[in-house]
């Protein structure tokens, strides 16, 4: 199925933020912050995998992903779509179907037996590969997959995250240094804007979330988490 819906990017971002609230995939809790795997304390949490459980939502999100790529990258820029283990795999399948392209997936590490493959599926030498993840914070996990594809002879100039944290300067630097253009649909700023518009939380909670988005490591340090990235 190849479609070319060109919804305005701001509208797509707002709608994805509204979808995430509707399906309860995002959460705010400034009083009892979430502890992330990095050791950071955060008043926000997201589970993009829930998008898969809602057919109308996931269909709209994949339409938006296709529109974002065709608008910002081009119509004939990719030879296949790659999903990273594990969350990126189903979204890669959905996007590959939308764009009429082959799909591969990339393991976090070679599987250690058989052919010891890290890339599953057919990727010709020199193939132009788009890497997709459900969300990206600072880009570290995406580049593990990008590096594996490049090592296997693929060309990666673009990546897409359905949701981008958009609060860490390190992320922009990492993608610039890695010569990869990151595309995304929505960020925490969009989620916060919808929460404010719909009055989903009291002003104290919204202000704490905004303070975190403005200076995440400082907020984490004040709330018992790490205050620097090692």
Over residues 150-165, the mean pLDDT reads 96
pLDDT score for 114: 44
Domains in the chain, ordered, with CATH? Answer: 9-222 (3.40.50.2020)
Query: Helix/strand/coil (H, E, C) string of the chain?
Result: CCCCCCCCHHHHHHHHHHHHHHCCCEEECCCCCEECCCCCEECEEECHHHHHHCHHHHHHHHHHHHHHHHHHCCCCCCCEEEEECCCHHHHHHHHHHHHCCCEEEECCCCCCCCCCCCEECCCCCCCEEEEEEEEECCCHHHHHHHHHHHHCCCEEEEEEEEEECCCCHHHHHHHHHCCCEEEEEEEHHHHHHHHHHCCCCCHHHHHHHHHHHHCHHHHHHHCCCCCCCC
Summarised one tens digit per residue, pLDDT across range 30-48 is: 999 999 877 889 999 999 9
- Across the range 117-122, mean pLDDT stands at 89
Residue 160 has pLDDT above 80, yes or no: yes
For residue 112, what pLDDT is reported? 52
pLDDT confidence of residue 23: 98
Q: Please check the confidence at residue 170 and state whether its pLDDT lies above 50.
A: yes
Work out the percent of the chain whose per-residue pLDDT is above 90: 82
pLDDT of residue 184: 97
Could you tell me which residue, 225 or 3, shows the higher pLDDT? 225
Task: Write the pLDDT tens digit of every residue in 198-226.
Answer: 999 999 999 999 999 999 999 999 999 98
């Amino acid at each position: 199925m190849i479609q070319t819906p060109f919804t305005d990017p701001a509208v797509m971002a707002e709608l994805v933020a509204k979808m995430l609230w509707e399906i309860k995939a995002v959460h705010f809790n400034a009083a009892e912050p979430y502890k992330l795997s990095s050791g950071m304390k955060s008043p926000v949490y997201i589970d993009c995998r829930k998008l898969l459980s809602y057919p109308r939502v996931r269909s709209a999100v994949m339409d938006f992903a296709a529109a974002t790529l065709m608008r910002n990258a081009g119509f004939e820029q990719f030879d296949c779509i790659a999903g990273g283990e594990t969350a990126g795999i189903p979204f890669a399948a959905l996007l590959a179907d939308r764009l009429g392209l082959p799909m591969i997936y990339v393991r976090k590490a070679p599987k250690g037996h058989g052919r010891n493959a890290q890339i599953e599926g057919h990727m010709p030498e020199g193939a132009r590969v788009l890497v997709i993840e459900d969300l990206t914070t600072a880009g570290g996990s995406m580049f593990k997959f990008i590096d594996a594809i490049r090592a296997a002879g693929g060309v990666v100039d673009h990546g897409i995250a359905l949701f981008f944290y958009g609060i860490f300067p390190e992320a922009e630097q990492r993608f610039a240094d890695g010569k990869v253009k990151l595309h995304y649909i929505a960020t925490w700023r969009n989620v916060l804007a919808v929460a404010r518009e719909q009055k989903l939380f009291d002003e104290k909670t919204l202000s704490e979330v905004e303070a975190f988005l403005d200076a995440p490591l400082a907020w984490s340090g004040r709330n018992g988490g790490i205050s620097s990235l090692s």
